[in-house]
Amino acid sequence: MQRYDVAIVGAGPAGIFAALEMLEKNGGLKILLIEKGKDIDKRQCPMEIRDISCNKCPECYLLSGWGGAGAFSDGKLNLSPEVGGFLSRYIDMETLQSLIDHVDGIYLKFGAPEEIYGTDSGTIKDLQRLASKNDLTLVPSKIRHIGTDLCRGLLKKMREALNHKVEILFDSEAEKILVEGDKVKGIRLKDGGEILSDFVILAPGREGSRWLEGEVKALKLTILQNPVDIGVRVEIPAPVFEHLTKAIYEPKLIYYSRKFDDRVRTFCVNPYGEVVKEYLKGIWTVNGHSYARRRTNNTNFALLVSTVFTEPFNEPISYGGYIAQLANFLGQGVIVQRLGDLYSGRRSTRERIAKGIVQPTLKDATPGDLSFVIPYRYLCDIMEMIEALDRIAPGVNSRHTLLYGVEVKFYSMQLKLTNNLETEVKNLFATGDGAGVSRGLVQASVSGVIAAREILRRLQGR
């Protein structure tokens, strides 16, 4: 049984930045990083190596391992506090912006590109006016784009910076949070080993959100009402969105539906990118990537509908999983449908899609009918949003537009935290997407820094 000053569960951006922050201020700390996946050099999906269908690996190489799911994302760094998470609930906007600038500097140090999108205030104001005239809100955001193809190299440099300074357990899964009285004691691993630690930072990411939810319930911690995001990924010819993506790269557009007054938003816009699928706990979902060094002819983005359930139901992650499982059941994976076929009330076929002007970048999606999968309410919201988008970007509401389903975000669980992201258990901190405090690389990284600084303050007090 080993003892550490700090144990960190998860080697995604929250866990990595927590470790970097603590070592910078106190290089003598004994820190352990526990990661269920593999090291960055060993993270390679079998589908990429042998051009085969998914092996359904016990731990998905795309979601688990050094860098977390962000290692294979398109590497967008949202530099505005209004975008990418919920940290403004815990700290004021000025402090949040200062922390964003801090982690941005670290990303630059490890190889992020200098170029920033969204700095032309005149163009952005023009686009905001155009959006507002069509019932849309454009949220301005400055973005630095790394690219899926360059993320691995950046994360490898971070790994090397921590090498021999932090102990890292790969292929090791946390099973139970150990608590004694009102204070955290450590972590029990799935192999039965116990890690004792004065402080524990939980940073399990999207892939570990269900494990964290189970532990939170076992410890009887307070869970806040939280939304679930369900929708589709839209694929269009890149020129249709180019006037938006050239100025902002990732336009954040919000719409409130006329019929249900639901909030619908664009998410993860990938100019000249490709649609990809992810395998998470037996469920196929859809996502998108874009690259720094290569392009496709298409742009893709998600349209997500946010719903907050009220009593007696409070299982948003399970509900989202159920919808994704239904799509998998009907389509044996991800379903793709032409918008024109959806309007016509018929399923898409390979022949119909082949005739379209938008050729799918996700080749093994199954042509089908999303109306059998997506609930009526969500489908109405999405169709309204597509009509609104077409008024500011003509061509979105084309019969050739492709819809992939479903896209579900499972990291929506939120628990009661202090301003320093401490849980109701003393010295136990919860950070990143898996804890519901962030929805992107930058705020996940910031959350790790917040927890690290509080731990450093307490250690200094000793």
Return the structure tokens found at 246: 């050239």
Query: What does DSSP assign to residue 365?
Result: P
Helix (H, G, I), strand (E, B) or coil at 123: helix
If one counts every other C-beta atom within 10 angstroms of the C-beta of residue 326, the result is 17
Rounded to an integer, the average pLDDT of 174-188 is 97
Confidence at 58, pLDDT banded by 50, 70, 90: low
Q: What is the pLDDT of residues 409-440, one digit of tens each?
A: 765 568 899 999 999 999 999 999 988 899 89
Look up residue 69 and give its amino acid.
A
- Strand ranges for 104-205 from DSSP E: 136-139, 143-145, 167-169, 174-180, 183-189, 194-202
- For 10-43, letters b (16+ CB in 10 Å) and e give bbbbbbbbbbbbbbeeeeebebbbbbbbbbbeeb
Rounded to an integer, the average pLDDT of 48-59 is 58
Q: What is the pLDDT of residues 272-310, one digit of tens each?
A: 999 999 887 688 999 999 998 899 999 999 999 988 777
Question: Which one, of 148, 407, 142, lies nearest residue 251 by Cα?
Answer: 142
Contact 338, 400 (CB under 8 A): yes
Rounded to an integer, the average pLDDT of 63-90 is 88
Torsion of CA 239, 254, 386, 319, to 10 degrees: 120
Per CATH, which fold does 2-224+415-461 belong to?
A: FAD/NAD(P)-binding domain (3.50.50)
Q: What is the C-alpha to C-alpha distance for residues 189 and 174, in angstroms, rounded to an integer?
A: 4
- Strand ranges for 215-334 from DSSP E: 227-237, 252-256, 263-270, 274-280, 283-289, 298-308
Q: What is the pLDDT of residues 362-412, one digit of tens each?
A: 999 999 999 999 999 999 999 999 999 999 999 999 999 999 999 987 655
Mean model confidence pLDDT for the chain: 92
Across the strands, what pairs with 284? 279
Q: What is the C-alpha to C-alpha distance for residues 20 and 421, in angstroms, rounded to an integer?
A: 18
Residue 50 has pLDDT above 50, yes or no: no
**Residues in CB range of 217: below 8 A, 6 or more apart:** 223
Confidence at 51, pLDDT banded by 50, 70, 90: low
Q: What is the pLDDT of residues 185-223, one digit of tens each?
A: 999 999 999 999 999 999 999 888 889 989 999 999 998
Residue reference for tokens 């901190």:
429
Q: What is the C-alpha to C-alpha distance for residues 279 and 275, in angstroms, rounded to an integer?
A: 14
**Residues in CB range of 320: below 8 A, 6 or more apart:** 228, 229, 230, 408, 409, 410, 412
Q: What is the pLDDT of residues 18-44, one digit of tens each?
A: 999 999 999 999 999 999 999 998 887
**Residues in CB range of 88: below 8 A, 6 or more apart:** 81, 82, 96
Q: What is the pLDDT of residues 101-127, one digit of tens each?
A: 999 999 999 999 999 999 999 999 999
Residue 140 has pLDDT above 50, yes or no: yes
Residue 182 has pLDDT above 70, yes or no: yes
What is the maximal distance between C-alpha atoms in the chain? 70
Q: What is the pLDDT of residues 314-368, one digit of tens each?
A: 677 788 889 999 999 998 899 999 999 999 999 999 999 999 999 999 999 999 9
Look up residue 445 and give its amino acid.
S
More confident residue, 278 or 458: 458
Cis check: omega of the bond before 408, within 30 degrees of 0: no
Residue 263 has pLDDT above 50, yes or no: yes
Q: What is the C-alpha to C-alpha distance for residues 186 and 2, in angstroms, rounded to an integer?
A: 10
More confident residue, 407 or 46: 407
Q: What is the C-alpha to C-alpha distance for residues 23 and 256, in angstroms, rounded to an integer?
A: 45
The residues spanned by each domain of the chain are 2-224+415-461, 227-409
